[in-house]
Amino acid sequence: MKSASVRGCAHGLAVGVLLAASVVDVHYAGNDGTSVLPPANPVWPTSAVVFVGLTAVLWPAGRRPGWLTPQVRTAVPALASALLTAASLGVGGEVVLGPGEIMILLTLLFIAVRHCPPRWAVVCGALDAGALLILPVRGDVTLSSDVLGLEIIGLLLVGLVAGLAGYLRSMDYRRTVAVTETRRSERLAMAADLHDFVAHHVTGILVQTQVARMMATTQPQEHEQDLDPVLAGIERAATEALASMRRTVGVLRDTGPESADLRPVGDLAGIAELIEGFATPGQKVVLHRDPSVSHDLPHEVQAAAFRVVQEALTNIRRHAADALHIEVRLRVSTSHLEVSVADDGRGGTQLPAAAHGGGFGLVGLKERVTALGGNLGAGPRDGAGWQVRAVFPARKS
């Protein structure tokens, strides 16, 4: 709020100075100038040029018509100023040089270099600089050292303004590139999140569908009451998958900063929801969470821990559907968060080959964990089964 107020005061001061300098121009023209064009009123040529320039500079951005592009704003006042200078030389008579027109042309030069399209920036910038540099020949000076001194000052002003505008334009470009790259990487991350969510839920749908078919074909009367929770699990998994897709598509359509909260990431609290309903009949999933595991860990650590559990459970469904006991552990030791998922499966699965995944889940997960300063390991357990273990720095946010 304070910086916005300072910017507003600075803008108001700049506008006030520009208007005051323009009034000085008109005053000089009315007292000392000689009209170079009919009617014989010494004020109107300078007033017209100053008015066109002020209109181009001060027209509010939100109310500019479509035709008033930066090219038009910067080129037309420069051409009007150059024509007045040419008229003062060709027709005769003096037009007094004032500070308002100088400031207007410098402002338009800044706008041209910073805001015009690349090719037009050169053309419009050259027009503004040229109109400024020929101003001294209008004044009450001889073509001698006076003009040379004014030209040198004009060149210095042109160089400073054009240099500052060019620097700010380059900063704008870098910022645009950075925002584009950030948005692109964020969209890729959201696509990866969507893949993780949908893969997890769709794999669950496949497994539970197979269980339901088995129950329906082998002693259907005996397993009739067991079918309802299985079908409910399928419905829940399908609903979650659709919700994840809907949420992600909504984020991709809305690129504003408020959309960041809609990104379908999880946290430590979401791990319990992830486990709930995961088990198929005959399976048992247990969550062991130490009381020392805090809820105020950095959000990116919590999201990555959620992803570790999600990917590990998805792989159990794909590659170890015969697992009877699955343990998920969360604990903090020596300022590190440790997440592990272990099962006692022997690799039994009946999923179609297309549902087994491409083998890149753990690779991408390891990159995510490593980027946070942690490490990820996966391998067989003693006896039977498989374990995935990740360790993260547990810095408080």
pLDDT tens per residue, range 72-130 = 999 999 999 998 888 877 665 555 677 888 999 999 999 999 999 989 999 999 999 99
**CA triplet 65, 44, 152: central angle to 5 degrees?**
85
Token duo for residue 305: 């821990």
Residues ≥6 apart with Cβ < 8 Å to 36? 45, 84, 87, 88, 91, 92, 93, 95
pLDDT band at 365 (very low <50, low <70, confident <90, very high): confident
> By the 8 A CB rule, do 74 and 112 touch?
yes
Q: What are residue 260's DSSP bridge partners?
A: none
CA-to-CA distance for 394 and 294, rounded, in angstroms?
9
Backbone angles phi, psi at 389, to 5 degrees: -135, 130
Q: Which among 140, 175, 193 is the end of a domain?
A: 140
pLDDT digits (tens, 9 = 90+) for 282-338: 788 889 988 888 777 877 788 888 888 888 888 887 777 788 899 999 988 778 889
What is the rounded end-to-end Cα distance, in angstroms, of the chain? 26
CA-to-CA distance for 382 and 142, rounded, in angstroms?
99
User: What is the domain-level CATH number for residue 296?
Assistant: 3.30.565.10
Q: Which of 315, 330, 323, 319 is nearest to 389 (CA)?
A: 330
Q: Is residue 56 part of a domain?
A: yes
Q: Is residue 275 part of a domain?
A: yes
65 vs 322, which has greater pLDDT?
65
Chain-centroid distance, C-alpha 225 = 52
Q: Is residue 168 part of a domain?
A: no
Q: What is the pTM of this model?
A: 0.52
Q: Domains in the chain: how many in total?
A: 2
Q: Which among 106, 140, 174 is the end of a domain?
A: 140
Q: In the predicted model, what is the mean pLDDT of the chain?
A: 76
CA-to-CA distance for 209 and 207, rounded, in angstroms?
5
Q: Is residue 4 part of a domain?
A: no
Environment class of 233 (CB within 10 Å of its CB; exposed 0-12, middle 13-18, buried 19+):
buried
Q: Is residue 170 part of a domain?
A: no
Lowest mean pLDDT of 104-108, 234-238, 337-341, 367-371, name the range.
234-238
Strand order in the sheet with 284-289: 284-289, 325-333, 336-343, 386-393, 375-380
Q: Is residue 177 part of a domain?
A: no
Q: Is residue 363 part of a domain?
A: yes
Domain containing residue 275:
266-397
Q: Which among 140, 172, 204 is the end of a domain?
A: 140
Strand 375-380 to strand 386-393: parallel, antiparallel, or no bridges (unpaired)?
antiparallel
Q: Is residue 249 part of a domain?
A: no
Amino acid at 103: M
pLDDT band at 40 (very low <50, low <70, confident <90, very high): very low
